[in-house]
Amino acid sequence: MSITIDRIKKSFGKFQALNDVSLDIPEGKLTALLGPSGSGKTTLLRIIAGLESSDSGRVLFGGDDVSNLHVRDRNIGFVFQHYALFKHLTVAQNIAFGLESLPRRSRPSKQEINERVAKLLEMIQLPQLADRYPAQLSGGQKQRVALARALATKPRILLLDEPFGALDAKVRKDLRRWLRALHDEFHFTSIFVTHDQEEALELSDQVVVMSQGQVEQVNSPTGLYARPESRFVFDFLGHVNVLSGVVKGQSLVQGNARVALPGVVNNQEAQLYLRPHEVQLAKAPVAHARLPLRIEAISLIGSEVRIELAPEGWESNEIWEVGMSHGEFACHNPTRGELWYAIPAVGHLFAGDSAQPETVDWHSTAHASAANM
């Protein structure tokens, strides 16, 4: 069932938590609500669920206005951040709760309920824990029980509020994969809240980036990463290397850093945003860029070597990061304290006050210089 959010506004006292939010959540897809703390993700999710009422605007499920429908009758699954398992009921009773709450005429028989619960316990791989109480479960187990409980009544919509927030990295990864598999099997429409960009990009079909009660951008994970539409999204999604300076003589200049920007208006301030993978390192500057940096740290863990660098003779608010394959690393063997030059291949320029970036491509020249390394 698709979900449409139509000009939702919500304030708590004087504080505007949601400011005119409109969204389309496609049927059968996994959508991530991503944003910093306090950006209104939970509030939006609760309004969709009906746990909170909006000041104005509508929520539609599959085209039907449900704004005035009680939570009880919306037939959605909701997974709370802190699980919210019923602590006085066993795991099996927790899972059965939704089925037993159905009105008498649509309620399955006791035996059918037991069978359904047994099946769900199989699905979450915890059949041996049916008679335990929530207090006797680990965090990951609780989270799986919470999911099974939400799915017991076969809702068409599943809402998850930071479902893996309180778990350690390993368990998170497992549960993420598991949720993805579950989703592919049952095809419910789900929205999950997260402030972990990696989780959002890895798990979802569509990412909604929120900030200060507004939707910043909606796109697929790849689209979002490749084409951020605002500084905010840029900063928020993954690491970004920034050179901010003044455009002079068709170049962005700051200190002794310089990047050629053909065709950009002179004498205005501008920021150049570069993703770690859009930059390579070389021993000497090239015609279109001179960005001296000194190596501060090298991290070998992971599929890529991550190199942290500090500007030399110019300034940047945050440290620069460049990725390099292990093969390349072995070949050039950069070491801490050495001076290297960053060579951008593609960049994103925010010139003047413009909110939208402009993509700059030095690709052909960058190729030539990379060979120099």
Is 194 near Mg ion (CB under 5 A)? no
For 130, half-sphere exposure in the C-beta direction (CA atoms, 13 angstrom radius) is: 14
Residues 5-24 that bind ligand ATP (CB under 6 A): 12, 15, 17
Q: Rounded distance, CA 341 to CA 152, Å?
A: 57
Which position among 88, 110, 177, 248 is part of the footprint of other proteins (CB under 8 A)?
A: 88
Between the alpha carbon of residue 112 and those of residues 100, 107, 216, 241, 269, the distances in Å are: 11, 9, 46, 57, 68
Q: Rounded distance, CA 206 to CA 335, Å?
A: 40
Query: Which of Mg ion, ligand ATP, other proteins, none interacts with 119 (beta carbon under 5 to 8 A by kind)?
Result: none
Pairing of strands 189-194, 157-161: parallel
Q: Rounded distance, CA 57 to CA 15, Å?
A: 17
Which position among 6, 133, 244, 312 is part of the footprint of other proteins (CB under 8 A)?
A: 133
**Site map 24..63 versus Mg ion, x via CB under 5 A:** ------------------x---------------------
Cβ proximity to ligand ATP: between 50 and 98 the closer is: 50
Cβ proximity to ligand ATP: between 35 and 163 the closer is: 35
Residues 17-76 that bind ligand ATP (CB under 6 A): 17, 35, 37-43
Cβ proximity to ligand ATP: between 46 and 156 the closer is: 46
DSSP string, 105-128: GGPPPHHHHHHHHHHHHHHTT-GG
Place of tokens 């068709």: 250
* End-to-end CA separation in angstroms for the chain: 54
For residue 211, list its beta bridge partners: 214
Chain residues binding ligand ATP by CB under 6 A are 12, 15, 17, 35, 37-43, 195
Chain residues binding other proteins by CB under 8 A are 49, 51, 71-78, 80, 82, 84-89, 97-98, 101-102, 128-129, 131-133, 135-136, 138, 141, 149-150, 153
Chain residues binding Mg ion by CB under 5 A are 42
